[in-house]
Structure 1
Amino acid sequence: MKIAIISVSNEGQKLAFKIKEKLDNDSTVIKTDLYHKNVKKYFPILFNEYDAIIAIMASGILIRSIAPLVESKVSDPAVLNIDDKGNFVISALSGHIGGANKFAKKIAGLINAAPVITTSTDVNSKLGIDVLARDLYLSINNTKEILFFNKAILDEKQITFTLNPNKNFDYLFEYLNNNTLEMHVSFFYSPEVNEDEICIALDNHEIILKEKKLVVGIGCRRGKKCSEIYEGLISSIGDLNIDKSRINMLSSAEIKNDEHGILELSDKLNIPVNFVEMDKLKLFKSKDIEKSEFVYSKFGIYGVCEPSALITAGFDSKLIYKKTSYDGVTISIAVSK
């Protein structure tokens, strides 16, 4: 997640620095940038450049500033509103697909504030279909049907999930079993459903959730054991609250294609690994990756795990877990658009 924090007062700016300091140590936060005053100039930029905006200001200023920019729950960034004293963190926009509700709870926990959530499913302890899709990195084929299914969930109707019997959906079952919010579901299996899709139906209404490509990028020192790489991977996906069965691919640099630990891990998890050609890594550019001068001095590339994950995930993919080190192993995670 790429985050912008914008403040208008001196007290708000102090709070912004405090929040940034905490977020900079979070591997699920790719970057956090600070902006101060001049909200009319900055908000149009922030809406296009960031996944989430934290606005430390009066709600009236925020509403008037973003009103002309709001387009759709599918594309709008998450927007949080915090008072100067940091008493309340309000999920103001894009609570579900944008992740503002969950993010509000996270920020509130960091600054000892009260989160304010107003969406119907959340306040009634129900799991929205769009929340499930966001948490499991699934795209939604017909977003117009979200309202119908969320209303059905609120009314405690049972919806059906149809899955392909040849696909491992442990990540879905784990998520539903561990979630504190309620959703009444019955499961059916059919080979007619694509392996990377979940077909959800009720009363002649249907919605398809499709897996985005989730890629774990791996870098490591020579001779690292499979068990050591596995520990780093499990720790990383644990931070994202996803099961290993949700991973679609592993990736690393071409120079690692004989690394037994990575190859063994691929076999152990039954997940294919893509070794990205060095020429592609040398040409790849992204302002979101961490550049390593040490790696560049040895191999002529600025990194392994982050660029290989992004290249493997495909055009317009993004990092959801930045390069994190685990005793000689580096892990990053990218997701396709």
Structure 2
Amino acid sequence: MARGLADIFPATDLYYMSKFARGDESDKNIRLFEGSVKLILPELFKSYNGIILFISLGAVVRMIAPILEDKKKDPAVVVIDDRGEHVISVLSGHLGGANELTREAAKAIGARPVITTASDVQQTIPVDMFGRSFGWVIESFEKATPVSASVVNEERVVVVQEAGEKNWWMYDKPLPPSIRVYDSANKAMKTEFDAALVVTDRLLDASEESVLLRNGVLYRPKSLVLGMGCNRGTSPEEIEAVILVTLNELRLSVKSVRSLATIDLKKDEQGLLDVCKKYGWELITYTPEELNTISLKNPSETVYRYTGAYGVSEPAALLCAGAVDWLLEKKKIGNCTISVARIPAAEEAGGVRI
């Protein structure tokens, strides 16, 4: 079964005891080992994102117990019984991806997936995975456990969504009445609730944090685009400083930036490339003709003379975000010009937005 599963999932490494060798292991890049699986598990934990074990569940629990560290670090662990009838998600079901790995493995071998995490069983919001498929980042994780309890126990939960994708409800049924969705922190704070899921690219003020994050989790959607122009040779330190100062002035989170956009003349600008690499942003570039399709309030003849475009940061931000207006039209600081736009949310969540 393990050999067959490895053939179906080619991005995996297969290990089994040398006493089961068939002679073709070297050709198939199969790793043989001596002794107990327990001896190699500590190294496997460090080397892999997911581990599938054809061993009894009880034995696996005893073997992994001494090497567990943290739910944000531990790999996904999945167990398959000796007859291949059940695939069981054992460890890191959400953050580590064990639940999804369980479903994929079960489908591959025709087995029954066994998943016991409460949000999956009850078909409700998985707090530690909320928005992950869209690239949302959890900024405040401390209250994830009590907030999850509030969700699965159907206590009063508010979802405050000021930015980001709205089609996050994944089930073919309405939102439970215990979950209410608000489009602003201000509206939610006027109600009574037991827990909050806050999705925003704004920096919360002290009063919002004290109320919403008392028992809440803060998510940063990838909802912002930075349009930038700069002089040739501008250092990454100056570019980064301009970005951080500008976002702080706008009270926006750098964790919500999805990409940086500019003219194609700057596709090899080392300072821009270095900043994008540091933050994990994609550098998107446009031709002068593409940039000129955006009508500007203050087109620049000087910029046109040097680049062929009447502006760089402003049209690049709008084109990349698919927006019709800016959060910041244009600001020049030193060697840089920066514009900021928010990606519009196209789809509504399942349920009533207040």
**TM-score, normalisation: structure 1:** 0.52
Relative to structure 2, which stretch is displaced further, 154-163 or 251-260?
A: 251-260
CA contact (8 A) 1:158 1:186 kept: no
What do the CA deviations read for 1:188-237 (whole angstroms, capped 9, x no partner)? 325998527899976941221234799xxxxxxxxxxxxxxxxxxxxxxx
Note the 1:60-209 alignment, pairs <5 A.
60-164=58-162, 167=163, 169=164, 171=165, 173-176=166-169, 178-180=170-172, 182=175, 184-189=179-184, 195=201, 204-209=214-219
Three-state SS of the structure 1 residue aligned to 2:82 is coil
What do the CA deviations read for 1:38-60 (whole angstroms, capped 9, x no partner)? 41232111211221111111223
Change (3 A) 1:193 1:125: closer
Distance 2:102 2:127 in 1: 19
CA contact (8 A) 1:159 1:202 kept: no
Aligned to 1:58: 56
User: Are positions 1:35 and 2:35 aligned together?
Assistant: no
Letter in 1 for 2:109: I
Three-state SS of the structure 2 residue aligned to 1:32 is coil
Letter in 2 for 1:187: Y
Aligned to 1:49: 47
Distance 1:74 1:55 in 2: 21
Change (3 A) 1:213 1:51: farther
CA contact (8 A) 1:22 1:110 kept: yes
Distance 1:196 1:39 in 2: 48
Aligned to 1:16: 2
Q: Which runs of 5+ in 1 are unaligned?
A: 1-14, 25-30, 215-245, 272-337
Aligned to 1:210: 220
Relative to structure 2, which stretch is displaced further, 113-122 or 152-161?
A: 152-161
Cα RMSD of the aligned pairs, angstroms, is 4.1
> Which structure has the larger Rg?
2
Distance 1:247 1:174 in 2: 20
**TM-score, normalisation: structure 2:** 0.50
Q: Which runs of 5+ in 2 are unaligned?
A: 18-35, 187-197, 225-255, 270-282, 292-315, 323-354
Change (3 A) 1:254 1:33: farther
What do the CA deviations read for 1:228-256 (whole angstroms, capped 9, x no partner)? xxxxxxxxxxxxxxxxxx99238998499
Three-state SS of the structure 1 residue aligned to 2:130 is helix
Change (3 A) 1:258 1:186: closer
Change (3 A) 1:163 1:151: same
Letter in 1 for 2:144: I
Task: Report deviation, 1:161.
Answer: 2.8
Counting matched residue pairs gives 215
Distance 2:317 2:183 in 1: 30
CA contact (8 A) 1:97 1:131 kept: yes
Change (3 A) 1:267 1:128: same
Percent identity of equivalent pairs? 27
CA contact (8 A) 2:78 2:102 kept: yes
Change (3 A) 1:90 1:257: closer
What do the CA deviations read for 1:91-127 (whole angstroms, capped 9, x no partner)? 0111122221222112111111000112222222222
Change (3 A) 1:89 1:157: same
Letter in 2 for 1:174: N
Three-state SS of the structure 2 residue aligned to 1:141 is strand
CA contact (8 A) 1:91 1:101 kept: yes
Aligned to 1:315: none
Distance 2:112 2:222 in 1: 33
Aligned to 2:307: none
Note the 1:226-265 alignment, pairs <5 A.
248-249=258-259, 254=268
CA contact (8 A) 2:138 2:218 kept: yes
